[in-house]
């Protein structure tokens, strides 16, 4: 096995994509292969005992607590997140990481290592370090950033007003690029029909725009204005129909028979909430600890507003399933996905229909409500009556079935 792994890494040619094109190939002698299924396993083998190494620091590490349990460092593939509730604790963990890497002959790229302060207001209230604070690794100062990317999502310094909503702004840019690339490729292949364009959007662009919506969807849906992610979807709906900017989103969506992206996000939120219910029973999952700890925060907070820092309260408010101020939280079990989605759709329609001007055609207003004109019902009744007449024609004792009446 060792010889097989050594053979895999004996020759690792790589190149870099630049504005002028691809660079020449050169050998990679550091790190693990990008995208290789074996890379996370190799990383895990080398750092298998790192969690215990950090926990040996005890109180000096100032590891955060969730549901009465100590939260270890977060490791995924070749990424690492060190968490601490104090500046001195984080620096102690950095020193411990340096000792650990020296013992195992591993290296850390200090230029790619960042510190992000998650406490309200950052350090001195403006997102910078407080007086006397500094962080270094192996004698090199570390950059203090206001945002960082982990597992494809960009996290910013948290605040009651915005939370994880900044993730959506970054995804909107990536989704816009994916949309233009999809449309260009579709035209090259001759997939110009509206139905084909919508299908390609749902396959290639929608997953990009909705990535991680279980985290940032709550904060985006609480905003009164349209999110940057939804604006990409609305632009596509207008463009694919050749409609001008003046046409409202409700009309362009209704003409295509499409739902806003927020309907999909709410569906994902409900499913994630229900998965969290199962995670809460798993004593070995950090996700379950965080969920139980946040529910306890909601219990202690009492009547919390929708804009509260309590994640569970905001989540339930978005899903229109928030408990009453005087109620208890003992009923918090799995949510009915169909019922929540139906309520969200009804709320969206009420909001849109109330804003439609009188000049809007009957076809558009009916499409927005998902209703058929009454003449559709009349035609259905006429067809059924005609069929009944056909049967009555064979009945010699019925006036309705008389030949003259039948014709």
More confident residue, 365 or 9: 9
What integer pLDDT is reported at residue 286 of this predicted model? 81
92: Cβ contacts below 8 Å, ≥ 6 apart: 57, 60, 61, 62, 84
Q: Work out the average pLDDT over 200-228.
A: 84
What integer pLDDT is reported at residue 321 of this predicted model? 52
Integer Cα distance of 384 and 380 in angstroms: 6
More confident residue, 234 or 219: 234
What integer pLDDT is reported at residue 358 of this predicted model? 53
What integer pLDDT is reported at residue 335 of this predicted model? 64
Integer Cα distance of 139 and 74 in angstroms: 24
Q: Work out the average pLDDT over 29-44.
A: 82
Reference 184, options 174, 197, 175; nearest CA is 197
More confident residue, 13 or 225: 13
What integer pLDDT is reported at residue 119 of this predicted model? 64
Q: Cα 209–309–233 angle (5° rounding)?
A: 15
Share of the chain above pLDDT 90, in %: 12
Q: Cα 200–201–203 angle (5° rounding)?
A: 65
Reference 210, options 132, 152, 141; nearest CA is 152
pLDDT tens, residue by residue, 349-383: 555 555 555 555 566 666 666 677 788 788 888 88
Dihedral sign from CA coordinates of 111, 117, 118, 120:
negative
User: Residue 67 is encoded by which pair of tokens?
Assistant: 């549901």
Cα–Cα distance list, 258 to 179, 255, 347, 379 (Å)? 17, 8, 16, 26
Cα–Cα distance list, 224 to 161, 220, 227 (Å)? 12, 9, 9
What integer pLDDT is reported at residue 122 of this predicted model? 44
As a three-state string, the secondary structure of 259-274 is CCHHHHHHHHHHHHHH
Query: For residues 221 and 348, is the Cβ–Cβ distance under 8 A?
Result: no
Integer Cα distance of 228 and 239 in angstroms: 17
Residue linked to tokens 């290592």 = 113
Reference 265, options 204, 185, 198, 206; nearest CA is 206
What integer pLDDT is reported at residue 327 of this predicted model? 39
What integer pLDDT is reported at residue 405 of this predicted model? 47
Integer Cα distance of 123 and 242 in angstroms: 49
Query: For residues 262 and 230, is the Cβ–Cβ distance under 8 A?
Result: yes
Reference 250, options 369, 368, 371; nearest CA is 368
pLDDT tens, residue by residue, 57-93: 888 988 988 878 888 888 877 788 899 988 889 999 9
In the chain, the largest separation of any two C-alpha atoms, in whole Å, equals 106
More confident residue, 39 or 311: 39
Domain boundary assignment for the chain: 38-145, 168-259, 267-324+334-369, 374-406
The pair phi, psi for residue 316, each rounded to 5°, is: -65, -35
- pLDDT of residue 333 exceeding 80, the answer is no
Q: Work out the average pLDDT over 210-214.
A: 89
What integer pLDDT is reported at residue 345 of this predicted model? 64
Would you place residue 149 in the very low, low, confident or very high pLDDT band (cuts 50, 70, 90)? confident
What integer pLDDT is reported at residue 200 of this predicted model? 93
Cα–Cα distance list, 377 to 111, 369, 390 (Å)? 69, 16, 20
More confident residue, 180 or 346: 180
């Amino acid at each position: 096995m060792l010889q097989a792994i050594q053979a895999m890494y004996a020759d690792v040619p790589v190149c870099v994509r630049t504005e002028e094109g691809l660079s020449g190939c050169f050998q990679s002698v550091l790190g693990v292969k990008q995208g290789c299924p074996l890379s996370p396993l190799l990383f895990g083998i080398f750092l298998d005992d790192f969690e215990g190494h950090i926990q040996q620091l005890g109180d000096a590490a100032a590891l955060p607590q969730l549901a009465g349990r100590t939260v270890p460092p977060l490791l995924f593939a070749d990424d690492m997140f060190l968490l601490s509730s104090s500046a001195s604790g984080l620096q102690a963990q950095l020193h411990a990481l340096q000792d650990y890497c020296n013992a195992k002959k591993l290296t850390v790229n200090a230029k790619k290592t960042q510190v992000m302060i998650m406490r309200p207001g950052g350090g001195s209230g403006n997102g910078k370090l407080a007086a006397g604070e500094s962080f270094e690794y192996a004698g090199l100062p570390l950059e203090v950033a206001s945002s960082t990317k982990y597992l494809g999502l960009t996290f910013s310094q948290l605040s009651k007003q915005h939370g994880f909503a900044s993730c959506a702004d970054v995804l909107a840019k990536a989704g816009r690029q994916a949309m233009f690339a999809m449309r260009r490729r579709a035209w090259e292949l001759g997939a110009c029909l509206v139905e084909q364009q919508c299908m390609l959007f749902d396959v290639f662009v929608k997953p990009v725009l909705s990535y991680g919506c279980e985290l940032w969807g709550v904060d985006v849906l609480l905003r009164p204005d349209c999110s940057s992610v939804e604006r990409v979807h609305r632009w596509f709906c207008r463009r694919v129909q050749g409609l001008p900017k003046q046409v409202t989103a409700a009309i362009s969506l209704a003409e295509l028979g499409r739902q806003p992206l927020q309907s999909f996000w709410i569906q994902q939120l409900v499913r994630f909430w229900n998965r969290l219910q199962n995670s809460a029973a798993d004593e070995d999952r950090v996700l379950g600890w965080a969920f139980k700890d946040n529910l306890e925060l909601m219990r202690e907070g009492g009547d919390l507003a929708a804009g509260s820092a309590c994640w569970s309260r905001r989540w339930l408010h978005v899903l229109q399933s928030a408990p009453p101020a005087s109620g208890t939280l003992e009923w918090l079990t799995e949510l009915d996905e169909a019922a929540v989605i139906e309520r969200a759709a009804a709320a969206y329609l009420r909001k849109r229909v109330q804003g439609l001007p009188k000049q809007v055609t009957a076809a558009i207003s009916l499409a927005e409500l998902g209703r058929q004109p009454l003449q559709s019902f009349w035609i259905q009744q006429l067809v059924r009556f005609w069929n009944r007449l056909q049967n009555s024609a064979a009945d010699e004792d019925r006036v309705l079935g008389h030949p003259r009446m039948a014709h």
